Amino acid sequence: MASAEAGTRHVFVRDLVLSARIGAYEHEKAAPQRIRLNLDLAVREAAADLGDRLENVVCYDSVLGRVREIVQAGHVNLVETLAERIAAVCLEDSRVRRAQVRVEKLDVFQEAESVGVTIERLNPFG
């Protein structure tokens, strides 16, 4: 996602594990379950020097704060819905050109490490 030609840097979050109320089945609605999130953002480079100032970059701490709010907002049936909401929040910053979001449920099948979805969305204004 980082590209000198496209003028983008890669901002990412790897393997964030949270407790979420997620799942379409009745037994999933009874209690939270563990999910793992991965975010990859293609961020437009600033024309000017960053000045070593936090407000001049897309801050992963701020992004994670918004992600946590979405996850804690209440029950969601589908991992796809959660991924779409997270991507939409990431794309609210016009510097983010592309957001790739992976949401995995970790405790669904004993035989599998995880199940989930990966989506990629483009910023129409980026």
pLDDT by residue (tens digit) across 64-120? 999 999 999 999 999 999 999 999 999 999 999 999 999 999 999 999 999 999 999
Annotated active-site residue 29? The verdict is no
pLDDT at 7 over 90: no
Compute the average pLDDT of residues 20-46.
Answer: 94
pLDDT at 57 over 90: no
- pLDDT value for 48: 72
- pLDDT value for 58: 85
- Active-site residue, from 67, 105, 116, 123: 105
Q: Determine if the pTM surpasses 0.85.
A: yes
For the chain, the average pLDDT equals: 92
- pLDDT value for 105: 97
- pLDDT value for 126: 60
Nearest of 79, 77, 74 to residue 35 by alpha carbon: 79
What is the CATH class of 8-122?
alpha beta
pLDDT at 55 over 80: no
Would you kindly state where each structural domain of the chain is located, as residue ranges? 8-122
